[in-house]
Structure 1
Amino acid sequence: MTRRMLIDLHPRRENARMAAEAVCAALGANDIVPVMSRSAHDVLCSYDDARPNGTEIVDDDRLLAAAEDCELIIVLGGDGTILRAAERFHTLGVPVVGINLGHVGFLAESESADLDETVRRLVDRDYDIEQRMALDITVRLEGRIIHRAWALNEATVEKGPRTQMIELSVGIDDRPVSTFGCDGAILATPTGSTAYAFSAGGPIVWPDVEALLMVPISAHALFAEPLVTGPSSVIAVEYRARHAEESAVLWCDGREEIGLPSRSHIEACRSAQPLTLARIQRGPFTDRLVRKFQLPVDGWRGPAGETA
């Protein structure tokens, strides 16, 4: 059976174009058909007349069906590109692997400098499969569902434009916890704990820990600390506007989802559809944390008395 791998890339990065050409060539040389959406291919070819030979071009409205027949989805870009691919393809169960062309690239498995080695390992099926917990988000208004969403990192209720502060009430498993004025609140997974939640002062949670997080953003309250719950809990945030000019917005993984009417009830729970990742870095998460954040480890001696 012919092997096929989908290539997804950042549409406006020159280095993504160059990486896509290299990946397509390497896959073709190993009798693997690269698959690409027509819109991505058109962007790729807009830079020059070079069209990757042997690439299967799929109309955008047929891309999900085509991706379902691929063994991997290779994402070329930063964390934002990987998150967009995760949201688009997570229902398929096809493993996603990211090659970082951005900055921190916490979700990516390798850097652009390691492109050749990464592709070789993907071709050789030298990788592990890992499931990452995600969130199902439900927005209700007076008991009626008005919006649903999915997020790998986090869902965020934030103040809207020209709004100085919003008031949010937080509850866990249908029980109220606290109400406070704030800039917003982050509902995150362990994967998202190193993203927006970390920037807002939340804890870093190892990805093999099954938990949900709630992190207030610039809260004006005595008790407005980050909360960590079990994976079966439901975290809820209720927004009530205090005046007509006030507004709030729901964001998921950096994409704007919906303007929130006053009295909106937003729930986050563990999704029945996790994201499947292909992992080629087999070291512990601790090493990734130190490497990505460039943490100082001088002075650590360890149980053997040897310095790091």
Structure 2
Amino acid sequence: MSRRILVVCHEGRPDAVAAADNLSAALQANGIDTIRDGSAEGVELAIVLGGDGTILRAAEVARRHDVPLLGVNLGHVGFLAEAEEEALPDVVDRVVARDYLVEERMTLDITITRPDGTVERDWAINEAAVEKGARARMVEATIGVDGRGLSTFGCDGIVLATPTGSTAYAFSGGGPIVWPDVDALLVVPVAAHALFARPLVVGPNSVLEVEVLPYEEKHAVVWCDGRRMLDAPAGSRIRVCRGAQPVRLARMSQLPFSGRLVAKFRLPVQGWRGVRERA
């Protein structure tokens, strides 16, 4: 049976399309069939060319069929990507040889129960972000963990994140960086008007809740990975827990997560173990 690989790129970017063409040609030259931006059914791997946004889009397709993703960064930070564009020849060689590992990343299952009784469900690999529906207004909300309320405040938003998402929106909101092999969930209030509105890190089996208070008919929305928006009118309850189905990421490098942080964020490490910055 022939091998099949899904190639996903940002079709609106000529450089990404050209890279996908070259990658597909190289894989086909090694006897591997490629599919471009289609279904992940029956493929062994999805190779994604682009930034984190393109990888998140591909995750929506690959997760349905439990297919691992291998990201090649054509964007800026590309934190979810495994390789940079200049490493594409090595990516081809490693994929042909099946020389890669697959790790699972926690996801979130999100349930919104609205005051009219309607229920909507979604998922995320990075975060569910509860945000104000109108620019001039705050979100008035109560947060709770495991069935107990913790605090009520007005804010610009509340980020409910996985460890993978700790370096995304949660990080921008002042949350901690959590290593991806740590089983945990994060709650990060954004611009909250309250004394007790610190970021929280809770266990993986905890249930997080946000209730949008029915004050002044204030409206909120929930963004799942910044890609899918769900309405959360005043009186809604947002429930977030560990997802039943993870996302699988293909890894070629044994670089520890600390090394990835340094490389992606270009962190200064001069002086570590006596190493000095060279002129």
Which residue does the alignment assign to 1:276?
Answer: 248
Give SS of 2:272's match.
coil
1:86 and 2:59 are equivalent in the alignment: yes
Maintained 8 Å contact 2:140/2:154: yes
- Look up the match of 1:10: 10
Residue 263 of structure 1 is aligned with which of 235, 240, 257? 235
What code does the residue aligned with 2:11 have? Answer: P
Given that 1:168 and 1:184 are in contact with CA atoms closer than 8 Å, whether structure 2 keeps it comes out as no
Superposed displacement of residue 146, structure 1: 1.6
Distance in 1 separating the partners of 2:263 and 2:116: 46
Alignment partner of 1:124 is 2:105 = no
Match of 1:195 among 131, 156, 168: 168
| AA partner of residue 69 (structure 1) | G
Alignment of 1:80-229 (within 5 A): 80-142=53-115, 144=117, 146-229=119-202
Distance (Å, rounded) in 1 between the aligned partners of 2:148 and 2:135:
31
The one-letter amino acid of 1:15's match is: D
Shift of 1:145: 5.0
1:120 to partner: Cα distance: 1.3
Shift, 1:247, TM fit:
2.2
SS of residue paired to 2:57: helix
The Cα RMSD (Å) is: 1.5
Structure 2 residue ranges without an equivalent (≥5): none
User: Partners in 1 of 2:53 and 2:83 — Cα distance?
Assistant: 15
1:288 maps to: 260
Which segments of structure 1 move beyond 6 Å, counting only runs of 4 or more?
none
1-structure distance, mates of 2:3, 2:113 = 44
Deviations 1:36-55 (A, max 9, x none): 24xxxxxxxxxxxxxxxxxx
Question: Could you tell me which of 268, 272, 276 is aligned with 1:300?
Answer: 272
Q: Retained in 2: the 8 A contact 1:100–1:108?
A: yes
Shift of 1:255: 1.5
Q: Report deviation, 1:243.
A: 1.7
Shift of 1:142: 4.4
Output the CA distance in 1 between the equivalents of 2:118 and 2:231.
Answer: 14
2: CA distance, partners of 1:134 / 1:143: 28
Alignment deviations for residues 79-116 of structure 1 (CA, whole Å, 9 cap, x no partner): 00101111222121111111111100000000111111
| 1:306 CA displacement | 5.8
The number of aligned residues is 277
Q: Which SS does the other structure have where 1:232 is aligned?
A: coil
More displaced stretch, 220-229 vs 257-266: 257-266
| Identical columns (%) | 57
Does structure 2 retain, via aligned residues, the 8 Å contact 1:140–1:146? yes
| TM-score w.r.t. length of structure 1 | 0.87
Post-superposition shift, 1:273?
Answer: 0.4
**1:54 is matched with which residue?**
none
Asked if residue 230 in structure 1 is aligned to residue 214 in structure 2, the reply is: no
Alpha-carbon distance in structure 1 between the residues aligned to 2:44 and 2:228: 30
Distance in 2 (alpha carbons) for counterparts of 1:145 and 1:76: 38
SS of the residue 2:89 aligns to: helix
